[in-house]
């Protein structure tokens, strides 16, 4: 109080002229300080404003799309789901709706709207909040691209300055196009193109007036106004947009009413479906190390793959249907676990464990992967059983043994022993017990060593516990005889069998032991499918691949697939083997596939203790491999379950769909092949009196010369 009293007394003592001068000096000093402070503030604001010149080079985070062989979208890789379109590809209704709602003076202002800013500032002052609102489309664009989403006066100033610079450097159509490609529509989606696909499952150019209005209504708060979370609120927002468009004379009342009556989506489009998730991950694992995370997930690449969704989708549905049925059957037939079982299994009740499956289709000529299923549910387990599993092949490995036999001079009519045998381990190798050719002799030979831990004995047997004696090479394969397979391995050598497997396309290590012919080595479905397709392709191995072509966001080709071919076997040997494998479907363990009523060659397989079930089948064009089992290697609970009885039915149903529009054709016969009618039991040339005859294929010069001397 004393200070103010003294100050007033001081003013009273001044003359009028001195008072005026003092006032002028004071105002000048205050103004100078304000100008200095304002200059410093403006300098600070301007110092970190980005150059709008970068807008020409601006590349937002774009979505990379994965396409199937028919250019259908399979999946996408994205941090922000976004696609960039020119304004000419965006419907005029969409453009008008955005202008009507967000900036009706867009084509008349020069970047900022003083009236809008004043109105927003007044509202903010009254509500005692930071400056916000009143933004033109250009201001919103500058904020979206250049600025952080903070609500401060300095950011607002930057926003306005940037808007003025953008307007000076870019045309109105360019600004509108940038905005429509940049704006956020919720659920990680940016831009009208990706929004159209997410909400309506269509290209933006196909959107109706009502759909344009619905999208526009989302802009202020996509999550709040989303039809997926609040249908009624979304309807009200759409109605508001249509009313504004009528007021701005973009549409009339009749058009607005029709658009308002359009249905509104209540769930996301299935355009980006979850089909082929394992295949998509298989592709990602190949491309991400090559191009980097940023390029794959933000670069807007286009990945054109070999996948055919018309094969993939029914394969997924059919496999799941059958495995769910088998799960139910297994649950009924599996005895309840004892406490001891639970202790051994770390407390896990095996009855709750689900069967798993894998399936894939290869193009024999090119190696292209047409379908690939790595499991029943990618969300539950990302482990790809088609490409990453290591499982026993069981009897599906036997064609490698039979090919090795053909390479050693055997023919389909050659006789092999399906008789009892036993092996012992001498510390270095497994050796055949000489003379032990029946069960009595085997029991007698091993009797002295029973209980000796240092003396290992292996007595193989067949699924049915029976033996068939001397049978033809063909019958041994058709009926999947284990003892015949071991007989062949013993005579041609397990090393050659392993070499055949590797030449055919198997990458895993194959242990060269007598049991190799029973499929005891670990493999995966893609390897087995590749090996079988080598035989179907006339002995030429083609490496499986899933990516046809990759382009960048400008359409420049970054890579293009070239099939990798290797001549592994002669066409003649391959044809003879495939012709025998046709008998597996016609008369053998894969007979359930005969209902396809077309030439199919294949092989069933059941591994030790029924832990793996297989069927791999071939047409001249395609090879399809199917597997099922438990991830933890427990045995399938039904003793009579085999690959032929469990896997072949769902393999066949899948292939019925896949092959329905393809003409039935037989495997082409190469030069150097001759046919002869032989006796099915002895393998000799058949006489008219022979009851069991078959037309057999031979490499020229290897056909039998003797006639059958018995009537069967």
Domain final position from 228, 243, 260:
260
Q: Is residue 545 part of a domain?
A: yes
Q: Which helix (H) or strand (E) holds 416?
A: strand 415-418
Q: Is residue 527 part of a domain?
A: yes
Q: Are residues 642 and 712 in the same domain?
A: no
Q: Is residue 489 part of a domain?
A: yes
Half-sphere exposure of 668 (CA within 13 A, CB side): 8
pTM: 0.74
Q: Is residue 600 part of a domain?
A: yes
Q: Are residues 647 and 516 in the same domain?
A: yes
Q: Are residues 385 and 459 in the same domain?
A: yes
Alpha-carbon gap, residue 142 to 162, rounded angstroms:
6
Q: Which two tokens stand for residue 514?
A: 């007598």
Q: Are residues 97 and 39 in the same domain?
A: no
Q: Are residues 649 and 688 in the same domain?
A: no
Q: At what angle do helices 482-492 and 494-504 cross, to 10 degrees?
A: 100
Q: Are residues 373 and 395 in the same domain?
A: yes
Contact 163, 143 (CB under 8 A): no
Alpha-carbon gap, residue 481 to 204, rounded angstroms:
61
Contact 417, 487 (CB under 8 A): yes
Alpha-carbon gap, residue 518 to 394, rounded angstroms:
5
Q: Is residue 283 part of a domain?
A: no
Alpha carbon of residue 255 to chain centroid? 43
Q: Are residues 617 and 710 in the same domain?
A: no
- β-pairing, 302-305 with 64-67? parallel
Domain of residue 163, CATH code: 1.10.3810.10
Can you give the pLDDT at residue 132? 43
Q: Which two tokens stand for residue 105?
A: 């003076």
Q: Is residue 477 part of a domain?
A: yes
Domain final position from 239, 260, 281:
260
Backbone φ, ψ for residue 463 (5° rounding): -55, -40
Q: Which two tokens stand for residue 227?
A: 């039809």
Q: Are residues 690 and 593 in the same domain?
A: no
- Helix extents (H) in 48-136: 92-102, 114-126
Q: Is residue 6 part of a domain?
A: yes
Can you give the pLDDT at residue 351? 45
Can you give the pLDDT at residue 131? 42
Alpha-carbon gap, residue 21 to 522, rounded angstroms:
101
Q: Is residue 55 part of a domain?
A: no
Number of H helices, E strands in the chain: 24, 24
How many domains is the chain partitioned into structurally?
A: 4
Q: Are residues 699 and 634 in the same domain?
A: no
**Closest listed residue to residue 607, CA positions, set 592, 629, 625:** 629
Q: Are residues 688 and 554 in the same domain?
A: no
Q: At what angle do helices 192-200 and 209-218 cross, to 10 degrees?
A: 110
15-61, pLDDT tens digit by residue? Answer: 666 666 666 666 766 666 666 555 555 555 455 555 555 555 555 67
476-532, pLDDT tens digit by residue? Answer: 999 999 999 999 999 999 999 999 999 999 999 999 988 899 999 999 999 999 999
Q: Are residues 512 and 461 in the same domain?
A: yes
Kindly give the parts of the chain with pLDDT less than 50. Answer: 45, 128-133, 147, 272, 344-351, 712
Q: Strand 601-606: give its sheet, edge to edge.
A: 369-373, 356-363, 622-629, 612-618, 601-606
Q: Are residues 382 and 234 in the same domain?
A: no
Domain final position from 232, 260, 288:
260
Per the structure, the complete domain to which residue 408 belongs is given by 369-658
**Closest listed residue to residue 541, CA positions, set 500, 582, 600:** 500
Contact 670, 572 (CB under 8 A): yes
Beta strands in 364-491 (DSSP E): 369-373, 391-392, 415-418, 423-425, 430-432, 456-458, 469-472
């Amino acid at each position: 109080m004393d200070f103010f009293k003294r100050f007033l007394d001081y003013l009273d003592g001044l003359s009028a002229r001195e008072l005026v001068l003092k006032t002028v000096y004071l105002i000048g000093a205050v103004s100078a300080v304000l100008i200095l402070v304002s200059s410093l503030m403006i300098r600070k604001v301007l110092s970190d404003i980005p150059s709008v010149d970068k807008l020409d080079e601006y590349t937002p985070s774009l979505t990379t799309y994965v396409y199937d062989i028919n250019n259908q979208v399979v999946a996408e890789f994205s941090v922000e789901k976004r696609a960039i379109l020119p304004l000419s590809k965006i419907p005029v209704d969409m453009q008008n709706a955005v202008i009507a709602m967000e900036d009706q003076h867009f084509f008349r202002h020069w970047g900022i709207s003083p009236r809008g800013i004043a109105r927003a500032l007044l509202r903010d002052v009254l509500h005692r909040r930071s400056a916000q609102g009143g933004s033109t489309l250009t201001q919103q664009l500058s904020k979206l691209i250049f600025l952080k989403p903070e609500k401060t006066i300095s950011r607002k100033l930057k926003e306005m300055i940037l808007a003025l610079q953008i307007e000076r450097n870019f045309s109105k159509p360019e600004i509108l196009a940038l905005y429509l490609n940049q704006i956020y529509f919720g659920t990680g989606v940016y831009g009208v193109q990706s929004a159209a696909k997410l909400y309506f499952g269509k290209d933006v150019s196909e959107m109706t007036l009502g759909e344009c209005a619905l999208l526009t209504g989302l802009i202020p708060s996509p999550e709040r106004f989303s039809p997926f979370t609040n249908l009624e609120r979304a309807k009200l927002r759409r109605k508001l947009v249509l009313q504004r468009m009528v007021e701005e004379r973009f549409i009339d009342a009749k058009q607005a009413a029709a658009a308002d009556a359009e249905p509104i989506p209540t769930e996301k489009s299935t355009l980006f479906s979850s089909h082929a998730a394992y295949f998509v991950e298989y592709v990602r694992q190949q491309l991400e190390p090559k191009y980097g995370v940023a390029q794959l997930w933000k670069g807007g690449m286009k990945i054109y793959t070999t996948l055919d969704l018309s094969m993939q989708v029914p394969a997924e549905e059919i496999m799941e249907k059958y495995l769910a049925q088998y799960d139910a059957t297994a649950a009924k037939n599996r005895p309840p676990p004892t406490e001891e079982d639970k202790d051994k299994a770390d407390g896990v009740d095996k009855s709750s464990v689900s069967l798993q499956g894998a399936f894939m289709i290869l193009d024999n000529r090119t190696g292209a992967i047409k379908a690939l299923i790595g499991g029943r549910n990618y969300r539950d387990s990302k482990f790809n059983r088609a490409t990453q599993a290591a499982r026993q092949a069981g009897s599906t490995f036997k064609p490698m043994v039979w090919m090795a036999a053909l390479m050693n001079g055997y023919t389909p009519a050659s006789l092999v022993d399906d008789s009892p045998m036993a092996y012992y381990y001498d510390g270095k190798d497994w050796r055949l017990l000489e003379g032990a050719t029946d069960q009595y002799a085997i029991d007698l030979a091993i009797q002295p060593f029973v209980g000796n831990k240092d003396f290992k004995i292996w007595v193989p047997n067949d699924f049915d516990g029976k033996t068939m004696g001397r049978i033809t090479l063909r019958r041994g394969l058709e009926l999947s005889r284990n003892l015949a397979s071991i007989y062949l391995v013993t005579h041609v050598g397990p090393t050659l069998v392993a070499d055949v497997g590797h030449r055919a396309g198997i990458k895993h290590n194959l242990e060269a032991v007598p049991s190799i012919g029973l499929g005891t080595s670990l493999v995966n479905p893609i390897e087995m499918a590749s090996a079988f397709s080598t035989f179907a392709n006339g002995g030429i191995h083609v490496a499986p691949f899933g990516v046809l072509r990759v382009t960048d966001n400008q359409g420049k080709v970054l890579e293009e697939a070239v099939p990798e071919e290797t001549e592994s076997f002669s066409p003649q040997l391959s044809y003879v083997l495939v012709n025998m494998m046709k008998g597996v479907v016609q008369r053998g363990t894969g007979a359930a596939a005969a209902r396809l009523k077309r030439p199919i060659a294949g092989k069933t397989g059941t591994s030790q203790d029924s832990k793996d079930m297989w069927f791999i089948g071939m047409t001249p064009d395609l090879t399809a491999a199917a597997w099922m089992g438990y991830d933890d290697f427990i045995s399938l609970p039904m003793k009579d379950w085999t690959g032929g009885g469990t896997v072949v039915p769902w393999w066949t149903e899948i292939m019925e769909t896949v092959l329905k529009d393809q003409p039935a054709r037989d495997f082409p016969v190469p030069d150097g092949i001759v046919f002869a009618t032989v006796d099915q039991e002895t393998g000799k040339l058949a006489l008219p009196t022979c009851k069991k005859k078959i037309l057999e294929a031979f490499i020229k010069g290897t056909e039998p010369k003797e006639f059958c001397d018995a009537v069967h």
